Amino acid sequence: MGKAKKIRNVIRRSLPDDAKPLLTPEQMEKLKTAGAVTLAVIAAAGILTLSAVAPNAFVAIEKLFFKKGRRGLSRKEKEQKVTHAFYYLKKHGLILMRPTKNDIRIFLTGEGRRRLKRFNIENPVVPKPAKWNKKWWLVAADIPTKDYKLAADSFRDKLKQMRFRALQRTLWVYPHDPRREIESLSNYYRIGHFVTVMEVSRLDLDDEVVVKSFFKQEGIIR
């Protein structure tokens, strides 16, 4: 069986009637093409095989077209969109695809990883667990603005974008574990040595009332 035919067959038999989206609504808002959606799905997937990634790409691409206000796609059209998206990523050197006996392994290239890094820096999102453990995460960012004003401003803007709540000028709070996202951002802006992340069991009572109300209104906790 030719590689092209095998790719189409794996995609066709793995596409579901529904699947759980791997991308958040905030991430989807920033994605414009089926190729960009598929690359982001590949990054979010735990198992990088075509049969594992294709169902989630299928769902995400469907949401992309609804977001654009277009008519609903038929199943055949969705299959074609998913197939073309993988071919696009391969053609542009963002992924490698290696056939196995019954599937196809997917590998991100250096350029694919660079594209994803830019996407994650531009659109950072802290993963939301199924259930909040009632703990709080504090980000202390005492950045000397004399030498790092642009970096400090950009870092603060990203915290606001991720819907962190400021307790003080240099202290921010969030209910879910943001260590990976904060590490990526602080390293990107070269201010990692000024940023500390801490998990705490409780806040000052008055602060806790305020931040709980804020995160409930934002839909981040229940």
Q: Give the domain CATH number at 76.
A: 1.10.10.10
Sign for the CA dihedral angle at 68, 69, 70, 75 comes to positive
Percentage of residues in the chain having pLDDT higher than 90: 40
**DSSP H helix total and E strand total for the chain:** 9, 6
Q: Which is nearest to 14 in space by CA: 69, 67, 75, 66?
A: 75
Q: Which domain covers residue 56, as residue numbers?
A: 3-122
- In terms of domains, do 14 and 82 share one? yes
Whether pLDDT at 18 is above 80: no
Per-residue pLDDT averaged across 40-63, rounded?
76
**pTM greater than 0.75:** no
- In terms of domains, do 55 and 157 share one? no
130 within a domain of the structure (yes/no)? no
- In terms of domains, do 68 and 170 share one? no
CATH number at 198 reads: 3.30.70
Per-residue pLDDT averaged across 42-56, rounded?
76
Is the CB of residue 202 less than 8 Å from the CB of residue 208?
A: yes
pLDDT at residue number 28: 65
pLDDT digits (tens, 9 = 90+) for 53-84: 887 777 777 777 665 555 566 778 778 888 88
186 within a domain of the structure (yes/no)? yes
- In terms of domains, do 157 and 112 share one? no
Tally of domains within the chain: 2
- In terms of domains, do 24 and 95 share one? yes
- Both tokens of 40, joined, read 């982001």
Residue 143 and residue 152: Cα distance in Å, rounded? 6
